[in-house]
Amino acid sequence: MKILVCISHVPDTTSKINFTNNDTEFDTNGVQFVINPNDEFGLTRAVWFKEKQGATVTVVNVGGTDAEATLRKALAIGADEAIRINANPTDGLFVAKQLVEVVKQGGYDLIIAGKESLDYNGGMVPGMMAGLLGYNFVNSCTGLEIDGNKATAVREIDGGKETLSTSLPLIIGGQKGLVEEKDLRIPNMRGIMMARSKALAVNEPTNDSNATQAVKFEKPAPKSAVKLISPDNLDELINLLHNEAKVI
């Protein structure tokens, strides 16, 4: 079984976010980048299939040279090879089209992507890939088993979970549940050393143009100041809730 894991190179959630050029571009200065968490769950599951069922695992990213550190980490975790598509991943459809070309060339049986990335939160790429390829697709996937050409997937739905049976080739939009957080892997020294010798190919993008562009970014409004009321002064609390906050 050949598995392709789509990896997004995203800011760590603890990073302080700023914008430049009149708030039209993301400021990367001082920002630590990591594997998108939803993708990391998928990568760990793919490595499990490699160890238990002899699958081969390729990771792919649409991004610049700065993303190669993230791809090397994925190789250190257990992927066999990596592909970087040399393009700026700001448009979901453009990214999906680039990844589709990799799928066509590689003949992958299972494509694992995160249900969304934590930078743009578009949640569209895996579904677009499935539509462009005509592949089966399971989103919000929290469990996956493969037996030959058959797959059993569990996904989150409103109010519960749904178990589906389908066939390969298959694309999933994965999230926490594919593996538990305690099962995520930290690259060890042996893995880091082996990653240096694993193949990392750089492909130029197809000539598809972006369908959208960012006009402006805007931060959420800062939280208002907090007023502290003595627990012994209930009358003042009620007065402020009634006359100032107007919630009672």
Query: In order of start, what are the domains of the chain with their CATH numbers?
Result: 2-216 (3.40.50.620)
C-alpha angle 223-228-232 in degrees, rounded to nearest 5? 155
Which tens digit of pLDDT belongs to each residue from 126-172? 999 999 999 999 999 999 999 999 999 999 999 999 999 999 999 99
Please indicate, yes or no, whether the overall pTM of this predicted structure exceeds 0.85. yes
Average pLDDT in the chain: 94
pLDDT score at 11:
93
Q: How far apart are CA 235 and CA 220, in angstroms?
A: 33
pLDDT score at 163:
97
**Identity (one letter) of the amino acid at 220?**
P
Say if residue 246's pLDDT is above 90: no
Which tens digit of pLDDT belongs to each residue from 94-103? 999 999 999 9
Q: For residue 222, name the pLDDT band (cuts at 50, 70, 90).
A: confident
pLDDT score at 76:
97
pLDDT score at 244:
86
User: Residue 22, SS3?
Assistant: coil
| Torsion sign over Cα 12, 16, 21, 23 | positive
Token code pair at residue 88 = 């700026």
